[in-house]
Amino acid sequence: MKYFGTDGIRGRVGEPPMTAEFALRLANASAQTLAPDGGTVLIGKDTRISGYMFESALEAGFVSAGMDVKLLGPIPTPAIAYLVKKYNAELGIVISASHNSFVDNGIKFFNSKGTKLDDKTELQIENILNGTTFTKDSIDLGRATIDSLARERYQEFCISSYKNKDDLQNMKVIFDGANGAAYKVGPRILNSLGAEVLSIGCSPNGKNINENCGSTHPELLQQTVKAVGADVGIALDGDGDRVVMVDENGNLLDGDQLLFILAMYYKENNMLKNPVVGTVLSNLGLEESLKSNGIEFIRSKVGDRNILSLLRETGGNLGGEASGHMICMDYVETGDGLITAIQVLEIMKNKNSSLDNLASGMIKYPQVIENINNKNNFNVSDSKEIESLIDDTEKKLAGRGRLILRPSGTEPLIRIMLEGESRDDLISHMSDLKQNIERIVSS
């Protein structure tokens, strides 16, 4: 597809396709595809300064096509997934580039069931995008209103996911909101559950989203947890669908480790349904640790949409990515950082256990990850030279590691991941591999 990636449409603000003119046409085409008879669309956003521009453009495109628009303001991506169903809306839109810096932005879609669009629907929208926008007669135009209660409704939903009769009293939590969409709801939810909360990364100014904070930059959170003697730290990304956590010793726990904790607890309490789903990037240690405890583990392609598809296919209820996208099907069918964090906190409370102890049962193999600029959209799958490099590297790993090389679905990058027993060996292999691929891509 020309515009849609693994998670909506994303790019540099002001450069195609992330322009106001394109956003207006996109909204109009989406309405024609998903709601030709009108209806309601919810629009939420993160805290990027460009969100105002895209919000206005999308509003105009939907209203001109006869849809009523509810503007929800800054709110986590999973909140839109939840509220689309609660409001019986036809469509939900999130204006966000997730973990990227403020110079980027993106547009994500949720259908009336609160799940992301399939490839067929995205292609239908793209086909209409090639045409012209249309405006209905004045009597059939939509209306736009501001919904000031959306955050509260999502907060209530998150709070209701905590089932223990004992709240989080006496638990000290550091919350890092990445200066993003969850900067208000995160601390409020944790306070409502009784935790003592210290917030960082909760002072957005339109330009500091994900800047030295959040799930992609958790160093300050790690330092803060240790410095104040907190029990746990929670870091979301800019739109709130990813989460990583920090134990009482300042150690970072990624999505694989959180998935292990959830899966073990689910099994112990007869809550686990069918296989746990990870991705091709999930740590080999996660797979081995789950299997040694009698838990089946299967892998999907990268992306929470692919995890969801496999969960539905197998009837599973738990899946996730190392990046922190976690899907807990018993609550919501998309990645939700706060729901995941609340479940982990509840497990800590129920088992009277530290986060460090809960994660100790999982082996974690070293991984080395690098990105290569790919602005010319070089097709790595068609390159015999790159295929030969991959074969050579896999021979060096000698069956004791893995190599994953793939184009990013959200940025003009080629992503490389090496996994194995020795970090030093991986670093050496990666240096050679990256240097040669950069030569091939730029030639």
Instruction: Kindly tell me the sign of the dihedral angle through the C-alpha atoms of 410, 29, 17, 49.
Output: negative
pLDDT band at 219; cut points 50, 70, 90:
very high
Enumerate the H helices of 334-422 as residue ranges: 337-351, 355-359, 384-397
| Contact assessment for residue 429 and residue 393, using Cβ atoms and an 8 Å cutoff | yes
Distance, in Å, from the CA atom of 133 to the CA atom of 16, rounded to the nearest integer, reads 17
Instruction: Specify the pTM.
Output: 0.91
**Phi, psi at 428, each rounded to 5°:** -65, -45
Q: How many CA atoms does the CB half-sphere of 342 hold within 13 Å?
A: 27
pLDDT in tens, 320-336: 999 999 999 999 999 99
Residues 6 or more apart whose CB falls under 8 angstroms from that of 242 comprise 98, 99, 215, 236, 255, 323, 324, 325, 335, 337
Give 127: exposed, middle or buried? Use CB within 10 Å, 0-12, 13-18, 19+.
Answer: exposed
Per-residue model confidence (pLDDT) at position 144: 98
DSSP class of 359: H
Per-residue model confidence (pLDDT) at position 174: 98
Cβ burial 251-283 (10 Å sphere, 16+ → b, else e)? bbbbbbbbbbbbbbbbbeeeebeebbbbbebbb
Residues 6 or more apart whose CB falls under 8 angstroms from that of 333 comprise 81, 113, 114, 115, 308, 327
pLDDT in tens, 234-280: 999 999 999 999 999 999 999 999 999 999 999 999 999 999 999 99
pLDDT band at 411; cut points 50, 70, 90:
confident
The phi-psi region of residue 194 (left if phi > 0; otherwise alpha if psi is between -120 and 50; otherwise beta) is left
| Contact assessment for residue 346 and residue 189, using Cβ atoms and an 8 Å cutoff | no
| Contact assessment for residue 69 and residue 144, using Cβ atoms and an 8 Å cutoff | yes
CATH number listed for the domain at residues 170-251: 3.40.120.10
Distance, in Å, from the CA atom of 146 to the CA atom of 148, rounded to the nearest integer, reads 6
Distance, in Å, from the CA atom of 37 to the CA atom of 298, rounded to the nearest integer, reads 41
Amino acid at 432: D
Per-residue model confidence (pLDDT) at position 131: 80
Mean pLDDT of 135-141: 95
Residue 417's nearest CA partner among 369, 361, 376, 383 is 369
pLDDT in tens, 369-388: 999 988 878 888 888 889 99
387 vs 85, 136, 381, 384, CA distance in Å?
A: 45, 52, 8, 5
**Catalytic residue positions?**
98
List where CATH 3.40.120.10 sits in the chain: 9-148, 170-251, 254-364
pLDDT band at 359; cut points 50, 70, 90:
very high
For 164-189, give the DSSP string. -SS--TT-EEEEE-TTSTTTTHHHHH
CATH class (in words) of the domain with range 9-148: alpha beta
pLDDT in tens, 94-109: 999 999 999 999 999 9
Per-residue model confidence (pLDDT) at position 38: 95
pLDDT score of 412 more than 90: no
The phi-psi region of residue 38 (left if phi > 0; otherwise alpha if psi is between -120 and 50; otherwise beta) is left
Distance, in Å, from the CA atom of 181 to the CA atom of 362, rounded to the nearest integer, reads 31
71 vs 33, 144, 249, CA distance in Å?
A: 21, 7, 41
Distance, in Å, from the CA atom of 223 to the CA atom of 51, rounded to the nearest integer, reads 31
| More confident of the two residues 84 and 439 | 84
Tokens 């190392």 correspond to 322
pLDDT score of 410 more than 80: no
pLDDT band at 399; cut points 50, 70, 90:
confident
| The listed CATH number (3.40.50.1100, 3.20.190.10, 3.30.310.50, 3.40.50.2000) that belongs to domain 367-442 | 3.30.310.50
Tokens 């969801």 correspond to 308
Distance, in Å, from the CA atom of 147 to the CA atom of 43, rounded to the nearest integer, reads 10
pLDDT score of 409 more than 80: no
CATH topology of domain 254-364: Alpha-D-Glucose-1,6-Bisphosphate; Chain A, domain 3 (3.40.120)
Q: What is the mean pLDDT of the chain?
A: 95
pLDDT score of 55 more than 90: yes
pLDDT in tens, 415-424: 999 999 899 9
Per-residue model confidence (pLDDT) at position 441: 85
Per-residue model confidence (pLDDT) at position 297: 98
Per-residue model confidence (pLDDT) at position 397: 87
Q: Which helix (H) or strand (E) holds 367?
A: strand 367-373
Per-residue model confidence (pLDDT) at position 21: 96
